[in-house]
Structure 1
């Protein structure tokens, strides 16, 4: 097992619950706000995997089981710090407003179809993964729902995950439940519940609204109190109920 340590980068801004018996939660979590927002140093494990140790070990077990059944789990994205998420947000905001001519609020609504506000991403925690099957030959963007549906290259892989992922502690986050709001359906995004549930619980105890109002990145000047309250309720909390 290769152990790595994430080193905090300097921020650069151009403009400014029911579970299976096998699921054991961290009953006494102690997570700082910097850790929850992706601004702290955390230990990451696995070259190209980059998860907390317990999540890493569970992922390796799932990967081996999938390989036995003919699937080669490939990590598309795992840990992502605040500053990387900030860069993703600002690139999209500037592209939508400057290149595509969108109004600021329209651009923000477009961004939060799939991308989080910096500081609120579950990928900050070292518990969440975006995964695909490495066996099929696929062109273009791999993280699109259609490629996990009937006739898509990852159809069989998704069926395997539906049947097996929870036995390793990994739960789909943004489901295709018709009444679910917030981020769109992401059949590739799974969360290691034994750690992510306590982290979300700790995050909910913080004043998330105030924390976001204190940030300074491109586009955040258009965040109203009403928008942020709706974002917290829909995008952070309207997820797979087994992860709350």
Structure 2
């Protein structure tokens, strides 16, 4: 009997640790649009430490639903379509920086885009040049490079010529203790091509299966090795 109870307990723990596919693709309701509790707690600690150095960490994007990502994708698709680009060219243009709905790490409640609210800036903020040279977020970038990993956060899309996929994003950090598991769950449980074919995402029905597989290999897997587990 004790052996049976122990087996049931192990199965229960494993099941509880696994994420439902709808959570992995941002399709489960998250009305508060919150980060996972553990990620939020680590972020709060990091904010407090940064504030002592005169840096006000501001999250400009945290949790993002499938619906929101789909709105962003479709808006960009329409813009490039009006410019006369063909579907595959539109696809390639969008995925320089933006993910296909259902594939964003922001669906997991573990990832954040950050800036320094104490800095003086104008215009678009998520621009690499603003984190380099004399950019307003250089102090933030330097501090994060030295301290982020102490709070469990790692840069996702690093400045590495040998890394494939999305372009360098000095603002995008992931809470590694949780996101490593989400990443592995995603690769094991989501059939990317079947999933994307089933969703009403603009242009997706005109993108080849080969291109979608390449997106998986180059973009979803093209991340900082520290986040692969």
d(CA) in 1 for partners of 2:53, 2:129: 23
Distance 1:122 1:150 in 2: 28
Could you tell me how far apart the structure 1 residues matched to 2:37 and 2:66 are?
20
Would you say 1:72 and 2:56 are equivalent positions?
Answer: yes
How far the C-alpha of 1:238 sits from its partner, in A, is 1.0
The alpha-carbon deviation at position 112 of structure 1 amounts to 0.3
Is 1:218 the counterpart of 2:202 in the alignment? Answer: yes
Structure showing the higher helix proportion among its residues? 2
- For structure 1, the 5+ residue unaligned runs are 1-25
Instruction: Pick the structure with greater CA Rg.
Output: 2
Post-superposition shift, 1:42?
4.2
Corresponding residue SS for 1:230: helix
Offset at 1:136? 1.5
Deviation, 1:209, is: 2.5
Question: Aligned partners of 1:53, 1:33: CA distance in 2, in Å?
Answer: 19
Aligned equivalent of 1:40 = 28
Contact kept in structure 2, 1:78 and 1:129, CA below 8 Å: yes
**Which residue in 2 is equivalent to 1:89?**
73
Aligned match of 1:233? 217
- CA drift of 1:160 comes to 0.2
Query: Is 1:243 aligned with 2:227?
Result: yes
Q: Could you say what the CA RMSD is over the residues aligned between the two structures, in angstroms?
A: 1.6
Offset at residue 27 of structure 1 (A): 11
Structure 1 partner of 2:44: 60
Instruction: Determine if contact 1:43/1:52 at 8 Å carries over to the other structure.
Output: no
The reply to whether residue 138 of structure 1 matches residue 121 of structure 2 is yes
> Are residue 110 (structure 1) and residue 93 (structure 2) matched?
yes
1:164 aligns with 2:147: yes
Distance apart, 1:217 and its partner CA: 1.7
After superposition, the Cα gap between the structure-2 partners of 1:44 and 1:168, relative to the gap in structure 1 and judged at 3 Å, is farther
Contact 1:27 1:198 in 2 (8 A): no
The structure 1 residue matched to 2:158, chosen from 175, 180, 205, is 175
Q: Distance in 1 between matches of 2:145 and 2:21?
A: 33
TM-score by length of 1: 0.84
- Give the Cα separation in 1 of the matches to 2:31 and 2:68: 17
Q: Secondary structure at the match of 2:17?
A: coil
Shift, 1:44, TM fit: 5.1
* Regions of 4+ moved over 6 Å: none
Aligned to 1:184: 167
Number of equivalenced pairs:
214
The answer to whether the 8 Å contact 1:44/1:126 transfers is no
